Amino acid sequence: MTTAIERRTRLLGPHMTTFYRDPVHVARGEGVWLWGTDGRQYLDCYNNVPHVGHCHPRVVDAICTQARTLNTHTRYVHDMILDYGEALIAKFGHDLTSMLMVCSGSEANDVALRMAQAATGKIGIIGTDNTYHGNTTAVSQLNSSKVPVGGYQTHVRQVPSPDTMVPVGGSREGQAEAFAKGVEQAVAELEESGHGVSALIVCPYFANEGFPTLETGFLDRVIDVVRKAGGLIIADEVQPGFGRIGSHWWGHDKLGFSPDIVTLGKPMANGHPVAAVVTRHEILTSFQEAFKYFNTFGGNPVSAAAAMAVLNVIDDENLADNARDVGAYAVELLSELATRHDVIANVRGSGLFFGAELWRDGKPATDLCAAMVDEMRERGVLLHSVGRYSQTLKVRPPCVFSHENADQLVQVMDDALGAVK
Amino acid sequence: MTTAIERRTRLLGPHMTTFYRDPVHVARGEGVWLWGTDGRQYLDCYNNVPHVGHCHPRVVDAICTQARTLNTHTRYVHDMILDYGEALIAKFGHDLTSMLMVCSGSEANDVALRMAQAATGKIGIIGTDNTYHGNTTAVSQLNSSKVPVGGYQTHVRQVPSPDTMVPVGGSREGQAEAFAKGVEQAVAELEESGHGVSALIVCPYFANEGFPTLETGFLDRVIDVVRKAGGLIIADEVQPGFGRIGSHWWGHDKLGFSPDIVTLGKPMANGHPVAAVVTRHEILTSFQEAFKYFNTFGGNPVSAAAAMAVLNVIDDENLADNARDVGAYAVELLSELATRHDVIANVRGSGLFFGAELWRDGKPATDLCAAMVDEMRERGVLLHSVGRYSQTLKVRPPCVFSHENADQLVQVMDDALGAVK
């Protein structure tokens, strides 16, 4: 019999990677739980896309009701996108009052870069050197994992990413200034090359860089540098947004700055393919004047209904508060665990986006971290790794994650650390 | 009271265009019908996205059932994407046996261009000069409607589009050869510039170019030229695919050629945001080796279930046959109409993708065509225009369009032509 893995390889290609040495063949999901086709139950500590929990009934109902009524593009007038857009921008405390809906975070960032180029008349882009902003040709230029065919384009500059264990500039105290120096240098290079600076794009939680612990105001000097050069600030909120980090609805609020453009994606509709760019009215206008942009699926009534249900559930079920409380509790448990396991070099995070960085013999413990990911999967807990050396266990579950779920996670981590040593 | 149009302008920007002088405020859809919020019923002769009819119950049920069970990314193993992919590639009669699922036709074309670049090691791309392949930064380079900020990139070449009333090279008989000459020149320029030729990308129905009537074999010489230069052929089947053109499932089958890469989009899941790239296994492998590609929403179980339902409905309801029969009937009615209205210079099309080109005083009748689009909307029939001068009435309805619907369409067109003259 042909196995599912063989079918995948043949159909989806040899490099369509799966998580875990023994991939999970999934069948069903509910809340923080996933079930395999063999009936086995897993605690999902990793999937941020089902933001309000796998198969949340209110989101499913919203999708079904609207799909039965009408699904069409936005060249007709329909109320759902307007109702949603107004509810969404009410979640921003500054002048981001306009919105463009697309299908994926990649499309959102692809648009955001062009918005910045249209609004500034320049094309240079600055990102960090250990990040990911999506999969289109344009935003792939910001990804550091693989050099694109034809090479990196000259208008893209990558600056050293902030880090907790190996801070830019050598110390945590001096990191903000050292990071700003990297941006200053990139600005100078872009100006010298004639590209100029259209934007700095960052995830304000530096999620893919390993979510280093950063002070409020960390980016203030950087933002000053970019704005003085005429550039805009794009906050990629695909991972930290929608209350996940607990203390604030958005990562940029936690760091204490006001971006010019915000991009949203994965958790926005609990897995339904929808994403958005939120910006100032005049930036959206500049973009629309420079590019003739239309997105067939973006903002259709079903996508907007799904996204609206997610917003409502986060509010009605107080999921941002839950993220804050359960996240703090879990970090406390992990900190206690660190006192008993030397390999845990650092515990950090905010809300339901936290983790434990593993080091051994003075070096990032990449292999141990990979072994832990597989060992925990064997023990029924799904998580993954992140960081420049994939040395950090990353926990980013649906936001209905409970204190009891945190207990299970840390208990299994304790056991697994004992087993893989 | 703030109108919906005012809310749109404020929220979605001043250039978020709507169809029709008096935009339709839509509320509900079923089959070939749309209803406005005022209860008015419209015959939808334009929307190809609801391919099997607005709100088809089998598609809605597939979405609801899967959304209630599980929706997650493809780094777990799940059967739905495999079942769908195998059913999809069975619709291709050649060696296109692998697939990559994404969220939109734009993402599909963005990937297809990189597949060609990865497989050939070259970066040059050739498209036509009056087309549209999507909205990402990379594929926008192929759009002729607006010069991008920073200008067109040097590795992109646009060749003159085939046309029925104004053929390339001056005659319909010589058009295939003249079109091939344009491609030959683009190939020579790309080779001289050092970019080389990675691909020619065309819609095999030349849908946005005005769907000119072309003979089987029209592209044979072009394909020969591109392949001799080491390039691949990308068929953008977003508009003609899935049986719409009646005589064949795919546009490239109608023209009689075998592309290396096929892109799919809009109609694939009746409006649910999903799209795909279908190609040979070794091309997908080259792409995966050159780019570290992952698409979070692409191929999720709900998207795959929606797409599977569409495939099944097309087959079970014989919608390709219906497209062929009703399309032929409608073209016959339109041809008769042309004998009574001099302004109709040409009637053409295949299956449920047809139209009438309007000329007056020896020139494309752009204004008259725009007036017709609005007049027919006032009379309860929705269609739109296409062509280099927006001079052709374009009909591209859900594939459940009936003979009776065709009667209504042509009757209203007859009346409207009388009214707008």
**pLDDT score for A96:** 97
End-to-end CA distance of chain B: 37
**pLDDT score for A151:** 78
% of chain A exceeding 70 in pLDDT = 100
**pLDDT score for A413:** 98
pLDDT of residue A390 exceeding 70: yes
Q: Is A164 near chain B, with CB under 8 Å?
A: no
Confidence of residue B83 (pLDDT cuts 50, 70, 90): very high
Closest chain B residue to A56, measured at CA: B68
Q: Is A144 near chain B, with CB under 8 Å?
A: no
CA distance A135 to B111: 9
pLDDT digits (tens, 9 = 90+) for A172-231: 999 999 999 999 999 999 999 999 999 999 999 999 999 999 999 999 999 999 999 999
Instruction: Please give the average per-residue pLDDT across B12-16, as a whole number.
Output: 92
Token pair for A319: 């999921």
Q: Using a CB-CB distance cutoff of 8 angstroms, which residues of chain B are in contact with residue A79?
A: 4, 37
Q: Using a CB-CB distance cutoff of 8 angstroms, which residues of chain A are in contact with residue B26?
A: 70, 72, 76-78
Domain with CATH 3.40.640.10 in chain A: 57-316
Residue identified by tokens 């990314």 is B73
pLDDT of residue A145 exceeding 90: no
Instruction: Tell me which residue in B13, B27, B76 faces A26 most closely, judged by beta carbons.
Output: B76
Are A19 and B75 within 8 A, CB to CB? yes
Q: Using a CB-CB distance cutoff of 8 angstroms, which residues of chain B are in contact with residue A294?
A: 17, 135
Domain at A57-316, CATH from 3.40.228.10, 3.30.479.10, 3.30.420.40, 3.40.640.10? 3.40.640.10
Instruction: Please give the average per-residue pLDDT across A237-253, as a whole number.
Output: 98
Q: Could you give the ipTM of this predicted complex?
A: 0.97
Residue identified by tokens 């009537």 is B213
Q: Is A358 near chain B, with CB under 8 Å?
A: no
CA distance A85 to A67: 19
Q: Best interface-test mutation with B: which of A6, A8, A12, A125 has the largest number of B CBs within 10 A?
A: A12
Q: Best interface-test mutation with A: which of B37, B60, B149 has the largest number of A CBs within 10 A?
A: B149
Question: Lowest mean pLDDT: which of A21-35, A400-414, B137-151?
Answer: B137-151
Cβ-contact A127, A142 below 8 angstroms: yes
User: How high does pLDDT run on average in chain A?
Assistant: 96
**pLDDT score for B145:** 74
CATH 3.90.1150.10 for the B4-52+318-420 domain, yes or no: yes
Measure in Å the smallest separation between the Cα of B30 and chain A Cα atoms. Answer: 8
Q: At what angle do helices A319-340 and A403-420 cross, to 10 degrees?
A: 30
Are A64 and B69 within 8 A, CB to CB? no
**pLDDT score for B148:** 74
**pLDDT score for B1:** 60
pLDDT digits (tens, 9 = 90+) for B167-186: 999 999 999 999 999 999 99
Q: Is A1 near chain B, with CB under 8 Å?
A: no
Are B85 and A12 within 8 A, CB to CB? yes
Domain with CATH 3.90.1150.10 in chain B: 4-52+318-420
Q: Best interface-test mutation with B: which of A3, A16, A111 has the largest number of B CBs within 10 A?
A: A16
Q: Using a CB-CB distance cutoff of 8 angstroms, which residues of chain A are in contact with residue B138?
A: 136-138
Q: Best interface-test mutation with B: which of A72, A79, A96, A385 has the largest number of B CBs within 10 A?
A: A72
% of chain B exceeding 70 in pLDDT = 100
pLDDT of residue B308 exceeding 80: yes
SS3 content of chain B, % helix, strand, coil (to 5): 40, 20, 40
pLDDT digits (tens, 9 = 90+) for B103-152: 999 999 999 999 999 999 999 999 999 999 999 999 999 998 777 777 78
**pLDDT score for A1:** 60
* Cβ neighbours of A309 (radius 10 Å): 25
| Collapsed DSSP state (helix, strand, coil) of residue B77 | strand
Burial A190-225 (b: 16+ CB within 10 A, else e): beeeebbbbbbbbbbbbbbbbbbebeeebbebbbeb
More reliable by pLDDT, A17 or B160: B160
Q: Is B149 near chain A, with CB under 8 Å?
A: yes
Q: Is A303 near chain B, with CB under 8 Å?
A: yes
pLDDT digits (tens, 9 = 90+) for A62-77: 999 999 999 999 999 9
Q: Using a CB-CB distance cutoff of 8 angstroms, which residues of chain B are in contact with residue A7?
A: 82, 86
For chain A, what is the HEC assignment?
CCCHHHHHHHHHCCCCCCCCCCCCEEEEEEECEEEECCCCEEEECCCCCCCCCECCHHHHHHHHHHHHHCCCCCCCECHHHHHHHHHHHCCCCCCCCEEEEECCHHHHHHHHHHHHHHHHCCCEEEEECCCCCCCCHHHHCCCCCCCCCCCCCCCEEEECCCCCCCCHHHCCCCHHHHHHHHHHHHHHHHHHCCCCEEEEEECCCCCCCCCCCCCCCCCHHHHHHHHHCCCEEEEECCCCCCCCCCCCCCHHHHHCCCCCEEEECHHHHECECCEEEEECHHHHHHHHHHCCCCCCCCCCHHHHHHHHHHHHHHHHCCHHHHHHHHHHHHHHHHHHHHHHCCCEEEEEEECCEEEEEEEECCEECHHHHHHHHHHHHHCCEECEEECCCCCEEEECCCCCCCHHHHHHHHHHHHHHHHHHC
pLDDT digits (tens, 9 = 90+) for B359-396: 999 999 999 999 999 999 999 999 999 999 999 999 99
% of chain A exceeding 90 in pLDDT = 95
Cβ-contact A224, A199 below 8 angstroms: no
**pLDDT score for B149:** 72
Token pair for B402: 């009936």
Are B285 and A7 within 8 A, CB to CB? no
Confidence of residue B160 (pLDDT cuts 50, 70, 90): very high
**pLDDT score for B421:** 81
Q: Is A140 near chain B, with CB under 8 Å?
A: yes
Instruction: Tell me which residue in B26, B86, B123 faces A11 most closely, judged by beta carbons.
Output: B86
Cβ-contact B210, B118 below 8 angstroms: no
CA distance A66 to A60: 10
Are A137 and B110 within 8 A, CB to CB? yes
